[in-house]
Amino acid sequence: MPMDDRGLSRRAFLRRAGTAAIAVPSLGAILAACSKPGNTAGGAGASGTESMLARPDHPVTLPLNGEPIAASTPLETGTLQMYNWDSYIYKKVVAAFEDQFNVKVEITTFNNMEEGIQKLVAGQVKPDVFFPTTDYISRLAAKDLIQPLQHEMIPNMEAVVWKAFWDPGPWYDVGWQYTIPYTIYTTGIAYRRDRVKDADAVAQGYDLLWNSSYKGKISYYDSYRDALGMAMVRDGNLDPNSADPAVINQAKTNILSLLNDYDARLTVNGAFAKLPAGEFTVAQSWSGDIVGGKWYLPKGTPPSVLGYWYPDTHEGLIGNDTIVIPTTATKPALAHAFLNFLLDKKWGFVNFSQYNGYQPPFATIQPDTLVADGVVPPALSKAVVTEDMFTQGLIQGQLTAEVDKLWLDAWTEIQAGG
C-alpha cells in the first residue's frame, strides 16, 4: 500500500507529553474541570480519592453511569461520528460497514489523548464512538463521559474475542461495562536485518539501542510512558508504573545518554516508516508498527530486511487499545453495531492484515498461522502476540496524579536535553 495512502502510524502521536503539555492542559486538569458536584468515584485526580486506580494487579469494576440502552433500541440512520487516532482504521472496513447498514461514517481524528479528551469535554466533538487508551478508562467513566455497553448488541465479544476480555473482563474495566478491545501490541526493538545479525539482537536485547555501532541511526519513541517504561525494564525494574523517584531518575539519565552519547532521535515514525526506508538501523517499536512497516519499504526491498526482538520471557511492555461509546452519542444503537462489526472475525482481520498491522485479540486468529499465511513476515515472528503473553507481559496502567507528575517532569528534562 503506498505511503501517501496510509499517513502516520496509528499510535504516531500517542501520549506525546512534551508538545501536548504546551498545546493543551494536562488530562488531570481537563477532567477535573468537568467534575460534577459530589462525584468522587473515579481514577487518579478524582477529588480526594484514587480508590479506582486501575492496574493489572488491581482490576477495577467501574461504577455504572445509568443503564445500558435497551437491546431492542432500533438502529438510527444517517451518519455515525467516529473520533479516532489518525490513520488507525482501514477505510475499506469503514466502507463495508456503511454498505451493510446503509449509513455514512464521518471520521474526526486526534493526535494525542490530551487533545482528544479536551475536545470531548468541551463539546467540540460529539462522537458516537471514541478510541481512548486503557489508562484513562476509569477517569472517563468517573466523569460520565462514556456510557455503559449493552452486551446483547455486541455478540462478537464472546464469539470471537479472547476470553480474558469478557470473562471476567480486562483489569481496567472488569465485566467490560464500557469498553471493547481494539488492538493488542508489544513494545520491543525493531532492526534492519541487513545491518544487525539476529543472533546479536537476541544477545543484546534492549542494549541494541545503547550500542555505539548504531550511533546516529537509533530511533526512540517520543512518548513519555513508553520511553521511560522501556528504560526502566532495561535496568531490570519490572514495574513499568514505578513511583520510585530513583528509578524514574535513572531511566531519565539513561535516555539522556541515549540521546546525547549515541545520537538517538525521539520520533513518532521511526519504527514504521524511517527504519524500513533505511534512515534508522534500530528503533524502539510497537509490534504493530514494524508489522505495518512492510508497506513502507522502498520498491524492491523485501520484508525479510525487517527484524523484531521481544524478550522470550515475555517480561516486556505489552498493552491494548479500546473503543467506547461517549455519553453524548446521538446514535448509540448504531454505535453498538459498529463495535460489533469491528469485532467480526472477517473485518477485524482485514483491518489488521491489510492496513494497520495491529493484531486484534481474536480467538479466531491462530498465531502460528500468521507467519505461514504471509500476514507477518517470518523475520517478524516475535511481533505476533499470543493470549498468554498478557499474563506475563508488563502492562502500563494508570498512574496517580502525583506519580504522573514525576514522570512528566523527567520527560520535560529529557526533551530539554538535560
247-262 tens-digit pLDDT:
999 999 999 999 999 9
Mean pLDDT in residue range 42-70: 73
CA atoms within 13 A on the CB side of 235: 20
* Predicted local distance difference test score (pLDDT) of residue 135: 86
Q: Among 162, 196, 197, 192, which residue's Cα sits nearest to residue 180?
A: 162
pLDDT at residue 40, rounded to an integer: 40
pLDDT band at 29 (very low <50, low <70, confident <90, very high): low
Q: Across residues 398-407, what is the average pLDDT?
A: 92
Q: Would you place residue 36 in the very low, low, confident or very high pLDDT band (cuts 50, 70, 90)?
A: very low
pLDDT band at residue 110 using 50, 70 and 90 as cut-offs: confident
C-beta of residue 225 within 8 angstroms of C-beta of residue 293 = no
> Tell me: the pLDDT tens digits for 119-135?
999 999 999 999 998 98
Strands 180-192 and 282-286: antiparallel
What is the arithmetic mean of pLDDT over 78-89? 93
Least confident of 25-39, 63-77, 132-146, 373-387: 25-39
Q: What is the pLDDT of residue 38?
A: 43
Q: Over 90: is that where the pLDDT of 349 sits?
A: yes
Q: Where are the beta strands (DSSP E) in 125-225?
A: 129-130, 180-192, 218-221
pLDDT, tens only, 155-176: 999 999 999 999 999 999 999 9
Residue 136 CA to residue 320 CA, distance in Å, equals 13
Name which of 160, 137, 112 is nearest 14 in CA terms: 112
Flag whether pLDDT at 21 surpasses 60.
no
392 — phi, psi (to 5°)?
A: -115, -25
Helices (H), 49-153: 91-101, 113-122, 137-142
Whole-number pLDDT of residue 166:
97
Task: Answer yes or no: is pLDDT of 111 > 90.
Answer: no
Q: Say what the pLDDT of residue 418 is.
A: 61
For residue range 193-230, list pLDDT tens digits in order.
999 999 999 999 999 999 999 999 999 999 899 999 99
- 378 has pLDDT over 90: yes
For residue 114, what pLDDT is reported? 77
What does the mean pLDDT of the chain come to?
A: 89
pLDDT exceeds 70 at position 19: no
Counting DSSP H helices and E strands in the chain, the numbers are 16, 10
CA nearest neighbour of 6 among 271, 280, 292: 292
How many angstroms from the chain centroid is the CA of residue 404? 18
- Greatest mean pLDDT among 56-65, 266-275, 326-335: 326-335
Alpha-carbon gap, residue 64 to 285, rounded angstroms: 36
- The model's confidence at residue 377, banded by pLDDT at 50, 70 and 90, is very high
Q: Tell me the Cα Rg of the chain.
A: 21
- C-alpha cell recorded at residue 158: 464472546
d(CA 282, CA 206): 10
Grid cell listed for 392: 506475563
Q: How far is CA 128 from CA 89, 109, 241, 322, 335, in A?
A: 16, 13, 31, 14, 6
> By C-alpha distance, which of 136, 135, 257, 224 is closest to 408?
224
pLDDT-based confidence at residue 151 (cuts at 50, 70, 90): very high
- Whether residue 102 is predicted with pLDDT greater than 90 in this model: the reply is yes
**Overall average pLDDT of the 302-325 stretch:** 96
pTM for this structure? 0.88
Print the SS3 string covering 241-299: CCCCHHHHHHHHHHHHHHHHHCCCEEECCHHHHHCCCCCCCEEEEEHHHHHHHHHHCCC
